[in-house]
Structure 1
Amino acid sequence: GSADLEQGVAATAQSVYRIGSVTKQFTAAAILQLRDAGKLRLDDSIATYVDNLPAAWRGVRLQQLLNHTSGIPDYTELGESWMRIWGVEMTPDTILALTFDRPMDFAPGTKWQYDNTGYILLGMVIERVTGRSWGSDMQQRFAFPLGLGDTRECLTGPLIPHRVHGYDPAEGGTWVNAPYLAMSQPYAAGALCSTVIDLARWNRALHTGQVLRAETYREMTTPTGAAREDGYGFGIGRDSVSGHEVISHGGGIHGFISSNLWVPEAELSVTVLANSGSARLGPLTWNLVAAAMGDPLRTPRVERPLPAEQRARYVGVYALELPGGARDFTVAVAGDGLTGQLAGQGANPLRYLGDDTFGVSFDPALRIVFTVEGDRAVKMTLRQGGGVA
């Protein structure tokens, strides 16, 4: 791969990537360490540590922030209003204020919905309890003791050796620089950068008792309550790949996608980092696990060419029903194919699989199926569990 297309710099094992939401397991582990040290309780109200919150937020418990069951609105789901300020450096207080005027998505503890705002709040809790910045705490608590020399808060200003650039695909098989994002915005929800070497060390430390007590680790990796059905613990999830239980988390941030996975039965660590917002990490990650475990490799479903005369039938804006309400999903022509874009997020290439069905790069199990009447699509349906794409 390439770390810098403009300078012709190749990627190496020492290349430093933004890891996006893989950050959340670091933030969650810090909260659990602080709990074990008697500095906080998971059933504490967030209002104990963060001032000037909306009344509806004040009863939310730390545990509900950890496993995405708080109901607090996600600031990254604000659509165009957030996209317009991607380049603005913000404090955590300013980030929170973006959603102060929005109603709760649901009553705390009653549902599961992925929520970056909750992890902004957890970062603020860490700062309040420790008296140091979240980024400094990550280095003092984890990076220095565990020898993670290239893991740090990935702020825009400081020079970071071996930092790679993020890209998005463009027409004609070319690349463009990913949209600029002020890295103070993802904060404790997604602002770390790291290397495959550091994340392999982190995986071994986290999953073999070097970071948390055994009972605390079980608590972190065991989905409970409204998060049980979605397999989400505290900052990390449980799933299966080729019949093997895995503990994992992925990340996606402007120009970067990451996948970080641990197979308990083999104490196997698999980390894949990409500096492309359209990279297909799922099939690669799954086949790396299969190869290491001696299982047959999976054959991806073949992408088909989409004739130009058929592309127009899918183009349009569709109302996508999500737990927090309806969101616009825009399908547009890009080059010789289509892209799909959820309001507030970047566009992703859609891979035509036949029968009015498309795959997406960021989730190989996701299928987008269109209902076509005449020569126009009238409905779009999301389906999970599509297998390797």
Structure 2
Amino acid sequence: MRVEERIGRWIERYEENGYLHGSILIASNGHILLNKGFGMANIEHFVPNKPTTKFRIGSLTKAFTAMGIFQLHEEGKLSIDDCINKYLPDFPQGEKITIYHCLTNTTGIPNYTSFPDFWSETMRLPMTLNQLIDSFKHLELNFRPGSKFEYSNSGYALLTVILEKVSGMSFAEYIQAKICLPLGMNNTGCDNGVEIVPDLASGYSFWEKPIHAAYADLSFPLGAYGLYSTTEDLFLWDQALKSSQLLSKELLEKMFTPKFSSYASGWVVSEILGRKCMHHFGDISGFCSNFFRFVDESVTIIFLSNMSVTPVTHLMQEMTKIIFDEPVSLPFSIQPVNITDKKLIAGKYIIEDDELQILDITLKNEELYLTVTKMYGVLCKFKLVPVSHNATKTTFLTGMVNEQLICYYSLSGQIENVEYKDFNDNRYIAYKDLSLANSTQQSGDIV
């Protein structure tokens, strides 16, 4: 079977089940195999996602910031080995931290997005870049700069300031003039949250149904995670990174070389399915994305989504298996069957070997729902659709994400245990907590 046909079968089943949201581009040897949008860019106005839909790309932005810094290095306007106090003279211990440390996430500066109040409060508030830096610059370093890797958006905030000071341009202006314009990336830019961006998708989360994602003020993400783009523009970016159009071959190699762990400068370089891959994940307020570049095999996969619970990385790994002709399983087709005793199934279930992890199954309007923890500890609530039933077990598929819940019955017809299989094929056995039986009726109905 040709690779296009295998991709088509996979896409058809996932789309049929409602598991794809966003835009996907797959290319091999410069030839585009798939370029398609899925789901809605804007649910309120029934606007579908298309290949030209713009998405906030989160930390995929870091690769652009790194490129800008390396370009300025090549022009002799700065050196990546300069200490940051040359450009930020009042930054504590700036004489110990280099630009290259910032590029490779080896500064030791605490990551501001990991602060306890960031997700609940700070991210919603407008802030200047200087105010943002003031929020972390006096904190104690987590380790000696250059001695280890620790992901930190703070370093990329510093790089944004340095880029602006040295170039004499705003971050948005620089990216447009020095990267997007030369490459014809006309649908990429820095989203300040004020200007209207035509064809920009809305970001969503999920609780029984799609809901608005938590608001994020866009005055300060900038060079850390502030860009928007399209899959088609990012493919132009991918192709340009194979040439010396933006940067010399020697500096490109330096930019793509990991310092510690597998992190280079704005890119992760590691093996996926035994093949070298340059990649990076991004997410911001309802948007999530990933970018796989198998340079040796000339394969590129880009997935931009505007639904926060879409497991883009896992789905791209499945696509990678298809491209390289490795076995891949399709999700079961969602064909509902009738079951009668739904109340029997509702309850809180404690996961075996982890009493802190609870699966909360609730009944609402004669429908069963599973409340489960997802990325960053966020609770999401998915409808359970029964697809098979007999005296020994009932199998459910979840809506929105390809997961399963299997209820096993004893000879007397009681729930013996449940098995939860997440999208990564991790399996968990859980047992009903009878002590909480009286509190299950309404639990999980309010986010």
Structure 1 length as normaliser, TM-score?
A: 0.80
Question: Does the aligned pair in 1 maintain the 2:348–2:360 contact within 8 Å?
Answer: no
1:201 maps to: 236
Match of 1:269 among 300, 303, 306: 300
1:339 maps to: 373
Instruction: Return the letter of the residue paired with 2:179.
Output: F
Instruction: Tell me whether 84-93 or 345-354 shows the greater mean CA deviation.
Output: 345-354
Seen in structure 2, the aligned counterparts of structure 1 residues 340 and 266 have a Cα distance that, compared at 3 Å, is closer
Describe how 1:291-306 pairs up with structure 2 within 5 A: 291-297=322-328
Aligned mates of 2:287, 2:298 — CA distance in 1:
26
Match of 2:144 among 101, 107, 117: 107
Describe how 1:168-247 pairs up with structure 2 within 5 A: 168-171=205-208, 174-224=209-259, 227=260, 230-247=261-278
Larger Rg: 2
SS of 1:169's equivalent in the other structure is strand
1:122 equivalenced with 2:159 (yes/no): yes
Q: Shift in Å at residue 59 of structure 1?
A: 1.7
Instruction: Return the letter of the residue paired with 2:223.
Output: A
1:279 equivalenced with 2:310 (yes/no): yes
Alpha-carbon displacement from aligned partner over 1:42-99 (angstroms, at most 9, x marks no partner): 111111112432x234421111110111000111001225521322221111111222
1:65 maps to: 102
Aligned mates of 1:370, 1:185 — CA distance in 2:
43
Aligned mates of 2:239, 2:375 — CA distance in 1:
36
Aligned mates of 2:427, 2:109 — CA distance in 1:
27
1:150 equivalenced with 2:183 (yes/no): no
Question: Does the aligned pair in 1 maintain the 2:277–2:295 contact within 8 Å?
Answer: yes
1:14 equivalenced with 2:52 (yes/no): yes
Aligned mates of 1:5, 1:158 — CA distance in 2:
21
Aligned mates of 1:205, 1:270 — CA distance in 2:
15
Seen in structure 2, the aligned counterparts of structure 1 residues 359 and 313 have a Cα distance that, compared at 3 Å, is closer
Instruction: Tell me whether 100-109 or 352-361 shows the greater mean CA deviation.
Output: 352-361
Q: Could you list the runs of 5+ residues in structure 2 that have no partner in the other structure?
A: 1-38, 333-344, 362-368, 383-402, 407-416, 436-447
1:162 equivalenced with 2:199 (yes/no): yes
Instruction: Return the letter of the residue paired with 1:121.
Output: L
SS of 1:246's equivalent in the other structure is strand
Question: Does the aligned pair in 1 maintain the 2:189–2:229 contact within 8 Å?
Answer: yes
Aligned mates of 1:289, 1:178 — CA distance in 2:
29
Match of 2:132 among 69, 76, 95: 95
Aligned mates of 2:105, 2:188 — CA distance in 1:
25
2:440 maps to: none
Structure 2 length as normaliser, TM-score?
A: 0.70
Alpha-carbon displacement from aligned partner over 1:107-164 (angstroms, at most 9, x marks no partner): 1111111100100000111001000101110000111110000100012111111000
Question: Does the aligned pair in 2 maintain the 1:72–1:104 contact within 8 Å?
Answer: yes
Seen in structure 2, the aligned counterparts of structure 1 residues 356 and 263 have a Cα distance that, compared at 3 Å, is farther
Aligned mates of 2:150, 2:266 — CA distance in 1:
13
2:178 maps to: 141
Aligned mates of 1:208, 1:359 — CA distance in 2:
43
Q: Shift in Å at residue 292 of structure 1?
A: 2.7
Question: Does the aligned pair in 2 maintain the 1:166–1:277 contact within 8 Å?
Answer: yes
Seen in structure 2, the aligned counterparts of structure 1 residues 182 and 359 have a Cα distance that, compared at 3 Å, is farther
2:3 maps to: none
Alpha-carbon displacement from aligned partner over 1:352-388 (angstroms, at most 9, x marks no partner): 7899997877xx59x798999x999xxxxxxxxxxxx
Q: Shift in Å at residue 340 of structure 1?
A: 4.6
> What is the total number of aligned residue pairs between the two structures?
349
Instruction: Return the letter of the residue paired with 1:339.
Output: T
Q: Could you list the runs of 5+ residues in structure 1 that have no partner in the other structure?
A: 302-306, 319-329, 377-389
Aligned mates of 1:108, 1:371 — CA distance in 2:
44
Seen in structure 2, the aligned counterparts of structure 1 residues 375 and 57 have a Cα distance that, compared at 3 Å, is farther
Identity among equivalent pairs (%): 27
Instruction: Return the letter of the residue paired with 2:85.
Output: A
SS of 1:273's equivalent in the other structure is strand
